[in-house]
Amino acid sequence: MPWSPATPHPRPTAMRPRFTSLTAVSLLLLASFHIHADDASKGAAEKKSDPANPAASAPSLRKPGFVFMELSTTRVEDYLSFFESVADFKLVMRKPGYLEACSDLAELSFIDPKYWSTGHPFSGKLTGSGQGVGIEIGIVVADLDKAYAAAVKFQDKGWPISTGIVHRPWGVRDFRVLAPDGYYLRFTEGH
């Protein structure tokens, strides 16, 4: 007998797909990324550029569900230069020891540890070298070959390419860079 919504599902209970909290969180994150992508593109078109104040002309990305990263480094200018060249990030804020850069969908901040306030949980605990060990950051780029060519130029500045462009079993190409503070950066194509 064919199955219909009015009759019990023919599969045993253990085999039926279940709607779990993990499924709900996954769906919310996907919806959030889609909404933020639409908002970012609308915001960029609606706002006018102000070269004197880049933060004023940047679309606001910080909405519920948005994830941003703050990377600790004594080389904030080097990090900005690298991410501008390789992943098309743009500077939106500059303060002593602190830089903030955005792409259309992401925000990265770079902070020198000596600028943390005394009460900050990391204050006095990081040396500015090696604290990124164990942290992998994946960044989707529009043109992987162009990003790789830009990354090659940073190798003699302390940004070694740990893996060149490789076609991965999951269907995309990527390359990997080890940042000076130990962050493992994966630059990849979109699906």
> Do residues 54 and 92 make contact, with C-beta atoms less than 8 angstroms apart?
yes
**Residue 174: inside a domain, yes or no?**
yes
Per residue in 67-105, pLDDT (tens digit) is: 889 998 889 999 999 999 999 999 999 999 999 999 999
**Has residue 43 been placed in a domain?**
no
- Give how many domains the chain has, as a whole number: 1
Could you tell me the CATH number of the domain that includes residue 155? 3.10.180.10
CA–CA distances in Å: residue 69 to residues 36, 50, 108, 109? 16, 25, 5, 6
- The parent domain of residue 63 ranges over 48-188
In a domain, 84, yes or no: yes
Provide the pLDDT for residue 127. Answer: 58
Residue 14 lies in a domain: no
Amino acid 126: pLDDT: 64
| 101 close to 65: Cβ distance less than 8 angstroms | no
Residue 4 lies in a domain: no
Q: Taking a C-beta distance cutoff of 8 angstroms, is the pair 150, 43 a contact? A: no
Give residue 61's pLDDT.
Answer: 72
Residue 27 lies in a domain: no
Q: In this predicted model, what pLDDT tens digit does every residue of 30-45 receive, in sequence order? A: 333 333 344 444 343 3
18: left (phi over 0), alpha (psi -120 to 50) or beta: beta
0.75 exceeded by the pTM? no
Determine, yes or no, domain membership for 38: no
| 6 belongs to a structural domain | no
Sign of CA dihedral 168, 170, 176, 182: negative
Spans of the chain, pLDDT less than 50: 1-49, 51-53
